[in-house]
Amino acid sequence: MKQIYQTNPPPPRSATNHTTFPTSIEPTHRNYQTNPSFPPKPRKHNTFPLTKRTHADSPTAPRFQVQFSFVFSAASMHEIWHQNFDPLGNPVFSTIAAAVPVCTLFYFLAVRRTAAWLAAVYSFAIGIAIALGIFHMPVHMAAGAVADGLVYGWLRIAWILVAAVFIYDISVETKQFEIIKQSIGGISSDRRLQVLLIAFAFGALLEGAGGGGAPVAVTGAMLIGLGFPPMQTALLCLVANSAPVAFGGLGNPVRTLVAVTGLPEADFSAMIGRILGIVILILPFWLVRILCKFRETVSIWPGLVVAAVTSAGIQFFWSNYMDASLVNIVSGLGTLVVLALFFGKVWHPKANWRYAGEAAPVAYAGEKLTFGRILRAWSPFLIVSALVVLWGAPPVARLLERTSWKPPVPGLHLLVMRMPPVTAKPFAEPALFDLSWIATPGTAAFLAGLISGPLLGLSLKRTLQVFLSTCWRIRLSVAAIMCMLGLGYLTRYCGMDATLGMAMSHTGVMFPFFGTLIGWIGVALSGTDAGSNALFGSFQAITANRLGLSPILMGAANSAGGVMGKMIAAQSLVIAATVTGQDGQEGLIFRAVLKHSLGLAVLVGLLVLMFAYVFPGAVPNGHHYW
């Protein structure tokens, strides 16, 4: 049997160090090749300390010593390193240290209004210093974690952004976006209804198909093309891309919860659907209220009610009785069709609402918009939607996955031990370079652009020129995304994320509320709900069992609360700024969207408290799909 054996770590430094260590060698059953020399024999390393060398875990070590040790040895690349969630011997100071990188990012974005790429570089540099100097992460492991994050950041986030903006640029270059604007105006020229059609319904469909940055990038480009102001477009798209994230990427966040907790998928899917179903009933009103005043919002209450009830109803039904994979696709597509029919055939506002000083829509005097012309104009977005959905279909996904290469990160894979109480027992963190260059939705979107250009009359050469122009225009945004993903992976593997999460676990009966905020922090840091669930899902279940709460409820709370942090994640801000032409204004967007993120997170926290203590019978246990 293939095994990896865990070595005895050094003893805790003091009684104040709450990190517990196993006291014996025990195998962890991993499909990993046995190394005859593993664990490695102790040997003398060539070290070059920047301060007086004292073993970090020695009882005689200074408590607040900041130490950098550079170890040059082939054997050191195979040594196990145990995360320490209280490196300073004081939970308060350790939590403050762990919070410095993210606080640095928010300070430069919100207070100094620094460009996102520069703020990301500053926080990235400080994060590396804290990981090495305070959390005592080995240098080669820190380098591996950053490299892993950079690979993921390019293929899974930045590549999607580049491809989505490429699709939009193709539509503009071929003058087809003018026809798209006219076709939407044919349904309604009312700005409030356009937000419900594009940001709310179509955005949910894109999130379900692929997620990543595609919903904000595509819907933001469409609203900008329709004439919406840049700042308001960014706010609308970021807030709309909240509740659907929990079932994004064909249900990937739910599957991640199942993987890290071992609890049933049907229970998690149903519970998330019950929490977010209530939020979705409010979300259309929230979005339109961002756009206009209260009186102008309630004046279209029939449209808001239809949007809310349709979306929430389909999401609740599918998540509770069908599966977790197609929730957003079915609800987004269903809501889009229902709203188009309702606004076009059944009801319309008494007066169209448009911005102050904005001219009334001019009737098109040219060639009549036939179904064929409308279909041709929409073809780039229809092709990208179809290909992204196809890419995520299980049979196709399995086929494409064969082209993926996921080699272990040298010196990192299964060598970082995540310790209790974050996990039930010491857990070896996997670390694989995700080189899914074909399986990523970004490749599907890029192919859609290559198909759409010639289809709309561009030569292949001109299509590629548009692509290169897109890459150059958003190069700084891509740099910001890469830095943030590097920092996100560094905080995960050095244990800073768990230190922040554990700070909220000492809240007793209020843990359902504050546990929800743990998920919010996780997504704000990592940029993905699946990533937050991977970091904190097991911790939520363990803490819930200790407090007599439902682990299903708290796992679902981590995901449902987490999605409200997506709108303030650095990569989301960069994407929103890029597609709305506000490069360098990410700080302003952050300040504007923060209150919405906090407000919705608090709402989810209160709902979780209600399910925990008022309606505990509504929490599923042993639930089954039809």
pLDDT digits (tens, 9 = 90+) for 199-252: 999 888 878 766 667 788 888 888 888 889 999 999 999 999 999 999 887 687
Q: Is residue 50 part of a domain?
A: no
**Which residues pair with residue 432 across a beta bridge?**
408
CB-CB contact of 282 with 308 (8 Å): yes
The single-letter DSSP state of residue 432 is B
pLDDT at 363: 55
Measure Cα distances from 239 to 73, 265, 573 in Å: 49, 27, 11
pLDDT top residue among 476 and 346: 346
CB-CB contact of 332 with 204 (8 Å): yes
- Rounded CA gap, 109 and 412, in Å? 32
Q: How confident is the model at residue 253 (pLDDT cuts 50, 70, 90)?
A: confident
Tokens of 402: 């064969």
- Rounded CA gap, 271 and 626, in Å? 16
The single-letter DSSP state of residue 9 is P
Tokens of 233: 């477009």
Nearest Cα residue to 452 out of 441, 463, 461: 463
The stretch 422-444 carries a mean pLDDT of: 85
Q: Side chain identity at 170, as an amino acid letter?
A: I
CB-CB contact of 8 with 24 (8 Å): yes
- Rounded CA gap, 201 and 602, in Å? 24
Domain range for 551? 143-352+375-618
pLDDT at 159: 84
Q: How confident is the model at residue 455 (pLDDT cuts 50, 70, 90)?
A: very high
Q: Is residue 174 part of a domain?
A: yes
Nearest Cα residue to 577 out of 233, 190, 276: 233
Measure Cα distances from 460 to 160, 168, 378, 412, 574 in Å: 21, 16, 19, 43, 29
Q: How many domains does the chain have?
A: 1
Residue 260: pLDDT over 70: no
- Rounded CA gap, 244 and 213, in Å? 13
Least confident range from 167-171, 224-228, 381-385, 425-429: namely 381-385
pLDDT at 453: 94
pLDDT at 25: 29
pLDDT digits (tens, 9 = 90+) for 50-64: 333 333 444 444 444
Q: How confident is the model at residue 39 (pLDDT cuts 50, 70, 90)?
A: very low
- Rounded CA gap, 198 and 201, in Å? 6
H-run or E-run covering 427: strand 427-429
- Rounded CA gap, 23 and 143, in Å? 29
pLDDT digits (tens, 9 = 90+) for 542-556: 788 878 899 999 999
Q: Is residue 195 part of a domain?
A: yes
Q: Is residue 392 part of a domain?
A: yes
Sign of the alpha-carbon torsion through 186, 187, 192, 194: negative
pLDDT at 360: 66
The single-letter DSSP state of residue 201 is I
Look over the chain and give the mean of its residue pLDDT values, rounded to a whole number.
Answer: 81
Least confident range from 305-319, 455-469, 504-518: namely 504-518
Q: How confident is the model at residue 15 (pLDDT cuts 50, 70, 90)?
A: very low
Nearest Cα residue to 275 out of 552, 596, 502: 552
User: Looking up tokens 């005689």, which residue turns up?
Assistant: 60
Q: How confident is the model at residue 66 (pLDDT cuts 50, 70, 90)?
A: very low
pLDDT at 149: 85
For the chain, give me the number of helices (H) and strands (E)?
Answer: 25, 7
pLDDT at 469: 92
Nearest Cα residue to 153 out of 477, 493, 584: 477
**Cβ count near 606 (within 10 Å):** 12
CB-CB contact of 135 with 95 (8 Å): no
Residue 13: pLDDT over 70: no
Measure Cα distances from 424 to 538, 540, 542, 545, 546 in Å: 8, 11, 7, 11, 11
pLDDT at 512: 94
pLDDT top residue among 602 and 76: 602
Residue 72: pLDDT over 90: no
pLDDT digits (tens, 9 = 90+) for 116-156: 678 878 988 999 999 999 999 999 999 999 999 888 878 87
Q: How many residues does the chain have?
A: 626
SS (H, E, C) 31-93: CCCCCCCCCCCCCCCEECCCCCCCCCCCCCCCCCCCCCCCEECCHHHHCCEECCCCCCCCHHH
Residue 501: pLDDT over 80: no
The stretch 468-484 carries a mean pLDDT of: 82
546 — phi, psi (to 5°)?
A: -65, -30
Q: Is residue 359 part of a domain?
A: no
Q: Is residue 12 part of a domain?
A: no
pLDDT > 70 fraction of the chain, expressed in percent and rounded:
84
pLDDT > 90 fraction of the chain, expressed in percent and rounded:
36
Reduced DSSP (H G I as helix, E B as strand, rest coil) percent helix, strand, coil of the chain, to 5:
65, 5, 30
CB-CB contact of 434 with 156 (8 Å): yes
User: Looking up tokens 């554990």, which residue turns up?
Assistant: 502
Q: Is residue 113 part of a domain?
A: no
Nearest Cα residue to 501 out of 547, 528, 534: 534
Q: Is residue 512 part of a domain?
A: yes
**Which residues pair with residue 47 across a beta bridge?**
71
Beta strand pairing status for 4-5 and 27-28? antiparallel
Least confident range from 33-42, 72-81, 307-316: namely 33-42
Q: Side chain identity at 464, as an amino acid letter?
A: L
pLDDT at 75: 60
